[in-house]
Structure 1
Amino acid sequence: MAPPEPLSRAVAERRHAAGKDFAVLLSARERPLAQLEFWPRRMWRVYLFDDRSWRTRMVDLKPHGTGMLSAHWSIRWEFSDEQAHAAGKWDVQETTTVSDDGQVEVKTEFAGPRGTSTQAPAAGPSGVPVRRLSAPAESFLCPAPEFGDWQVFVPLLAQQGHEPATTVVLSEVPVAEGSGPLRATGIERLFRPGACDTSGGPAVVEQVDAGLLRITSGQLAVSDPGWLGDLRTVAVPSGEFPVTLSILRTSRGADVAAAKVTFLDLPPREWDMLLRPDEDLGLLGGGQFYGVGVDTGTAAFLDATRTVDEDRLDEDVFLAVDGRFTVELPGTETEPNLIAFRAGQGDGSYPVWIGRTDDGQVGCVVVDFQLHSADGEK
């Protein structure tokens, strides 16, 4: 499988310092040996490859009270042939769990009929039993690495049968010059009616009026209406403001390509990514972004104080928007309205852009569902 866009060493090092996830590939002579994944809360996951470049072992390590890492859980797989490995159909799966006090449980499963699995019997000649034993907790510890100190994982490579190297060197993968976080390019063109080219062929852009959004708190929120605890907000004027959808029509049908709420009838001078206070653009690699998460196929503009009746979401929003592009949940005497719309082609994460005027005011806010870009590429 092709790897994702590589991070520069500087970005990866900043992510490590901030406790944000990244991955490192250890290899020898262009052959993968281990994939090191740094997870939030300072946890690590290590995938190990054998001499055939098959991923046959996974080890999870978590912070230990000693300041080191504890290998508390691991899985080892056996595959009959390359086709089974490619399909993830193991013959044997051995799971090892280690408690903080060194109690070890090893459970072995064998592939059953049609790829199902069965646990090995507690005893008997036909399978390996579930084994329980005790071992010194120290034997499962390793140092928590500083960035670039991948030498601490060499013992895991040795367990996999690879000859330990005297040193592990981090080789910089070339990263395109100017590569950095996703940039807003051609956002205005997303709302320009007429023919355009996309990666899927010719298309037509149409504008649809989605109604007026009422803001009462001075805070616009962008969210999946089913997950209003996960808001992205920006300070805006109070009042009623038009919401416009960009509809992209192709030979396969029509989808919402972007949604915009306009606060000032002035052309934006610059575009900023809508960030939460704890998000840092310096931690993003090439083309990456922080965006609104969608898990119901629907996104929405709303006042940050707006609530919804979760029991009525299916009927009032999700089923209603399925047959059209947008739906409004009217306001009440005490609450503003909410305007929901279909999220491009479904669930995912999408960038949200703030269009600012010459004097820095918020002129508009746009959700780009990334169906096409100004230059016609997906």
Structure 2
Amino acid sequence: MIFDSLDVTYGEMWGSYRGMTHPDPMSRALAARKHAAGMDYAVLLSARERPLALVEHWPRRMWRVYLFDDRSWRMQMIDLKPHSTGMLLAQRNTRWQFSTEQEYLSGKWDVQETTTVSADGQVEVKSEFARPRGASTEPLHARTSGPSNTPVRRFAAPVESFLCPVPEFGDWQVFAPLLAQQGHESATTVVLSDVSVDEGSGPLRATGVEQLFSPGACDTPDGPAAVELVDVGMLRITSGQLVVSDPAWIGETSRTIAVPPGEFPVTLSLLRTTRWTGVAAARVTFLDIAPSEWDMALRPDEDLGLLGEGQFYGVGVDTGTVSFMDATRTVTEDQLDEDLFIPLDSQFSVELPGTQPEPNLIAFRAGQGDGTYPVWIGRTDDGQIGCVVVDFQLHSADGGE
């Protein structure tokens, strides 16, 4: 294909997705903010509604470029890293060959050729071949795990042949020469055209959190349900720092919030349907005053301006469990197994007591199991923290289904 213009769209990292358009598009403005912050995003370069290249911006100034052929098959992957010259080095270039479209869609290559280049121009080319049909009783899905032979060539080449400029945001013409590797030749001048994507309504908002704690009938995507509130104990805070975390993974995705010291009630919102019952939300209440506004609980390095429509920063869950605890509270591995996870198999919450005046810990099931969930801070008119809520998103907190 000869092209003189490229349509540019932005989105989240594409990964192994093999479609024709971004599965999760974002506005140019949001992508620019992510670029400035050193965060990941992706750029799709298309011509005549056919993808030619997908460019992924990775943290630490790394880039990955996927190249597509005339069939819109993703046939090549190039990893670029910063080089001492101030340019990008195509450190690894992987090409694939596929027999049929079905095998392409399932990633079952016949040949995989990987070219690796060192910073001083030492080149290694490795070719891997899938076993021929009939040569083994292994199922087709195992073909990529056991190549029958792996020829390797090594030689030296001018490193300049593997360098390209580091693009400023929007300067995607620097990747146009790479398209020639899949037979796409650029005209003398290439015009870039941004495909407009609405900025949208922005990050997830905490509209309707109060409804999660309004007992009675409600509607869900699974049909009629009922909200039931359960008091599960008093949380003792001694340090003035509340931690919301998976009790087995206190750290990177935990939320830490400055709160007054004391003992405060913890309430679970249970959602009961005809088929199941789950924890829809959990709340620790510091003031018996209805919040007038809600803030997302953020870590110091998190910026709401880097979130797309409906996105949020939240507490990460890997054991199906979340807990409220004081920042000084610790949990041993024996306590996790014996005192938390086993009891939670048959009940919705459990308390790990602390010898007074030491802080305790209250843990509860995460309504949808493992994942990431928003944590909301409810504030009063004068800015005080009235409560902290974890929404497990079993039913919408904005009043919709």
TM band (smaller chain): over 0.9
CA contact (8 A) 1:6 1:286 kept: no
Corresponding residue to 1:70 among 89, 114, 135: 89
Give the total of aligned pairs. Answer: 371
Instruction: Pick the aligned partner of 1:144 from 166, 181, 186.
Output: 166
In the alignment, which of 49, 64, 69 is matched to residue 45 of structure 1? 64
Where structure 2 has 5 or more consecutive residues not aligned to the other structure, the ranges are 1-18, 132-137
Tell me the distance in 2 between the aligned counterparts of 1:131 and 1:199: 58
Letter in structure 2 aligned against 1:295: D
1:119 matched residue in structure 2: 147
Q: Deviations over 1:30-69 (max 9, x none)?
A: 1111111111111111122211111221111122222221
Residue identity matched to 1:215: I
Contact conserved, 1:199 with 1:376, CA < 8 A, in 2? no
Q: Which amino acid aligns with 1:108?
A: S
Aligned partner of residue 194 in structure 2, secondary structure: coil
Cα distance, 1:150 vs structure 2: 0.6
**Cα distance per residue 1:116-146 (max 9 Å; x no partner):** 2323525xxxxxx122222222222211111
Compared CA separation, residues 170 and 120, structure 1 to 2 (3 A): farther
Counterparts of 1:228-377 in structure 2, within 5 Å, are 228-230=250-252, 231-332=254-355, 335-374=358-397, 377=400
Query: Which residue of structure 1 lines up, in the alignment, with residue 177 of structure 2?
Result: 155
Look up the equivalent residue of 2:70 and give its one-letter code. Answer: D
The secondary structure found in structure 2 opposite 1:189 is helix
State whether residues 225 and 271 of structure 2, in contact with CA within 8 Å, keep that contact through their aligned partners in structure 1. yes
Residue 177 of structure 2 aligns with an amino acid whose one-letter code is P
How far 1:376 sits from its partner (Å)? Answer: 5.4
Q: Distance in 2 between matches of 1:131 and 1:334?
A: 69
Determine if the alignment matches structure 1 residue 12 to structure 2 residue 31.
yes
Deviations 1:315-358 (A, max 9, x none): 22223223221121211357411111111212111111100000
Could you say which residue in structure 2 is the equivalent of 1:97? 116
- Measure the CA separation in 2 of the matches of 1:199 and 1:305: 40
Q: Name the CA shift for 1:170/1:223 in 2 (closer, same or farther; >3 Å).
A: farther
8 Å Cα contact 1:6-1:173 kept in structure 2:
no
- 1:85 Cα deviation after fit: 1.8
**Contact (CA 8 Å) 2:41, 2:56: kept in 1 or not?**
yes
The answer on 1:187 being equivalent to 2:209 is: yes
Amino acid of the structure 1 residue aligned with 2:304: L
Task: Provide structure 1 residue ranges, at least 5 long, that are not aligned to the other structure.
Answer: 123-128
Which residue in 1 is equivalent to 2:11?
A: none
1:10 maps to amino acid: A
* C-alpha deviation, 1:149, in angstroms: 0.6
Match of 1:126 in 2: none
TM-score computed with the length of structure 2 as normaliser: 0.87
Once residues 92 and 22 of structure 2 are traced to their aligned partners in structure 1, the CA distance between those partners, rounded to angstroms, is: 26
* Whole-Å separation in 1 of the counterparts to 2:102 and 2:275: 34
Cα 1:168–1:77 change in 2 (3 A) is farther
1:36 aligns with 2:55: yes
- RMSD of the TM alignment (CA)? 1.9
**Mapped pair 1:226 → 2:254:** no
Measure the CA separation in 2 of the matches of 1:213 and 1:294: 20
**Is contact 1:5-1:286 (8 Å) kept?**
no
Residue 234 of structure 2 contacts residue 266 of structure 2 at CA under 8 Å; is this kept in 1? yes
Distance 1:88 1:195, change over 3 A: farther
Structure 1 length normalisation: TM-score? 0.92
Amino acid at match of 1:239: G
1:13 partner amino acid: A
